[in-house]
């Protein structure tokens, strides 16, 4: 797909801006933002300033327009395609029709590797394999695993529980076809960012409660895990930090229109009666993120149930940082930590 001229110009402008000396970047970004005992990273603050100057929002009036915008935005923030990583298109059979997917493989990775089934973010409404391509490539390269990125059905055309069904189908496919994918069936993780982190958590919960096969590891990057409660972080960071309170409401109204269904553990895994026995998890939160507190509450819930969990708050970052790999260094550093956790989690001697 050709990159629109306006997007190419904006991308060039962003690259030039981030190449400026730090004092110049600070001047453009404004005074440091400090809130809740945290200071926002300059890279993140500069991105928010660019968003403010351009008048762009995460979601717009229409679903179609919002989907187009997030796919185009990758040219502004995600950077050039990460190499050497190959991508192979495939389809996952499902009851309602095949699910498109892409298998990313780092150069030189032997057969029998670990594999991550990756679910992209976007509030279950927007986002795609395209918008999250470099995130998947980054995790594949830096964790030295294969990554199966899945195109699950989106709301409002396909509201809850369609995405959860597709997420489970994709994991079961990866486990059944592991050898064909070049992976070891005992070393398959589920993971994703935001809504994708939600789907990964739901798959881990469902597969464990049914008695397996279940993932060996969960990679949950600023996951949405409780749609029933407004926590303090949503009040603190619900305006001006990329993911807004208004956008969260817009997403949930499309995904689960009936408020009474939002306490279902398949929407809000934090509310599950039993989380014991779940796979080990790495849970990352961002300090300036409305979802911060629910992600951390989920980590506490898992730990209390005896699940091995590593919680990492990136206190100076905003929601979405795993997609912002082409601007500055700070977001790349945080995402590299997640890749390292995945690599360790899927090492041959990791286990439960």
* C-alpha pair distances (Å), 90 with each of 27, 129, 181, 190, 231: 47, 12, 10, 18, 40
Q: Of the listed 226, 289, 293, 316, which one is catalytic?
A: 289
Q: Can you say whether the dihedral through the CA atoms of 213, 218, 220, 225 is positive or negative? A: positive
**Any catalytic annotation for residue 54?**
no
Helix 42-54 with 22-29: angle, nearest 10 deg:
50
Three-state DSSP at 254 gives helix
Q: Is the peptide bond before 156 cis (omega within 30 degrees of 0)?
A: yes
Q: What gap in Å lies between CA 322 and CA 135, rounded to an integer?
A: 6
DSSP letters for 281-331: EEEEEEEE-TTHHHHHHHHHHHHHTT--EEEEEEEEEETTGGG-TTSSSHH
**Any catalytic annotation for residue 319?**
yes
- The angle subtended at Cα 86 by Cα 80 and Cα 90, nearest 5°, is 115
Q: Of the listed 194, 226, 233, 293, which one is catalytic?
A: 194
Q: Of the listed 142, 175, 254, 319, which one is catalytic?
A: 319
- Positions annotated as catalytic residues are 194, 289, 319
């Amino acid at each position: 797909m050709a990159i629109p001229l306006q997007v190419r110009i904006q991308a060039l402008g962003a690259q030039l801006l981030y190449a400026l000396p730090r004092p110049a970047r600070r001047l453009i970004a404004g005074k440091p933002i400090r809130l809740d005992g945290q200071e926002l990273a300059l890279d993140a603050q500069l991105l928010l300033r660019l968003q403010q100057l351009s008048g762009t929002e995460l979601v717009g009036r229409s679903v179609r327009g919002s989907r187009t915008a997030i796919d185009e935005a990758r040219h502004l923030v995600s950077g050039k395609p990460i190499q050497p990583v190959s991508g192979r298109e495939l389809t996952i059979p499902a009851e309602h029709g095949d699910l498109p997917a892409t298998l990313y493989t780092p150069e030189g990775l032997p057969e029998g590797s670990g594999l991550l089934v990756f679910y992209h973010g976007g509030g279950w409404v927007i986002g795609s394999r395209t918008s999250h391509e470099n995130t998947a490539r980054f995790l594949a390269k830096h964790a030295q695993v294969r990554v199966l990125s899945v195109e699950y059905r989106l709301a409002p055309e396909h509201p809850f529980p369609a995405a959860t069904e597709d997420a489970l189908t994709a994991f079961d496919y990866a486990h059944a076809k592991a050898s064909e994918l070049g992976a070891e069936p005992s070393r398959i993780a589920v993971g994703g960012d935001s809504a994708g982190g939600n789907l990964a958590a739901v798959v881990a919960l469902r597969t464990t409660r049914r008695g397996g096969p279940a993932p060996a590891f969960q990679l949950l990057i600023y996951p949405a895990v409780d749609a029933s409660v407004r926590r303090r972080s949503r009040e603190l960071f619900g305006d001006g930090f990329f993911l807004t309170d208004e956008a969260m409401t817009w997403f949930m109204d499309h995904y689960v229109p009936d408020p009474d269904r939002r306490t279902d553990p398949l929407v809000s895994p934090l509310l599950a009666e039993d989380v014991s026995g779940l796979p080990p998890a790495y849970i990352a939160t961002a300090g300036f993120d409305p979802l911060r507190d629910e992600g951390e509450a989920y980590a506490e819930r898992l730990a209390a149930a005896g699940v091995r969990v590593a919680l990492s708050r990136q206190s100076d970052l905003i929601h979405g940082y795993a997609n912002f790999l082409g601007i500055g260094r700070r977001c790349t550093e945080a995402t590299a930590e997640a890749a390292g956790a995945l690599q360790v989690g899927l090492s041959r001697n990791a286990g439960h």
